[in-house]
């Protein structure tokens, strides 16, 4: 292109001619390459070949992908949450004044203050 139009060099031509040297110096342009797309698309190619159902391939691929996503998300929810309470002890009836007792009764309904109330010093919720 430079030999045919030497006076009209646009940036596009300059990038095209210098691109091989830039790749040699700095490696591939990670923001512009399509390897993630190819890896993602590989899943759909495998499912299409393994299902042997080419009448409505888009529905088959969509259904299988949705089932895969559901399986992944349900697995993550069940296995990754950890609740832990530290320093559990019973709360005595005399620690509450009458206003606080009334608020607890209004919120929770019937409460046996001698047995139902416990207190913890620290509660931690970890999502691994």
Q: What is the pLDDT of residues 53-105, one digit of tens each?
A: 888 999 999 999 999 988 888 766 655 567 777 777 787 777 778 888 888 88
The three-state secondary structure class of 84 is strand
d(CA 112, CA 109): 10
- What tokens appear for 72 in the block? 């992944």
pLDDT band at 5 (very low <50, low <70, confident <90, very high): low
- What tokens appear for 120 in the block? 């913890």
- Say what the pTM is: 0.37
Stretch 1-22: mean pLDDT: 69
Measure Cα distances from 57 to 38, 42, 63 in Å: 19, 15, 10
What per-residue confidence (pLDDT) applies to 96? 76
Where do the domains of the chain lie? 1-33, 36-80, 87-127
- What tokens appear for 22 in the block? 């830039």
d(CA 6, CA 55): 54
Closest alpha carbon to 119 in 98, 93, 97, 99: 93
What per-residue confidence (pLDDT) applies to 62? 92
Phi, psi at residue 113, to the nearest 5°?
-65, -25
d(CA 113, CA 90): 10
């Amino acid at each position: 292109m430079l030999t045919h139009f030497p006076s009209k060099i646009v940036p596009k031509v300059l990038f095209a001619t210098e691109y091989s040297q830039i790749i040699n110096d700095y490696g591939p342009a990670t923001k512009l390459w399509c390897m993630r797309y190819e890896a993602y698309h590989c899943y759909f190619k495998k499912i299409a070949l393994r299902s042997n159902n080419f009448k409505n391939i888009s529905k088959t691929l969509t259904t299988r992908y949705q089932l895969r996503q559901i399986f992944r998300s349900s697995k993550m929810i069940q296995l990754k949450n950890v609740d832990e309470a530290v320093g559990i002890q019973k709360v005595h009836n005399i620690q509450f004044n009458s206003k606080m007792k009334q608020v607890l009764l209004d919120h929770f309904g019937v409460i046996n203050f001698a047995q139902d109330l416990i207190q913890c010093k620290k509660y931690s919720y970890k999502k691994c």
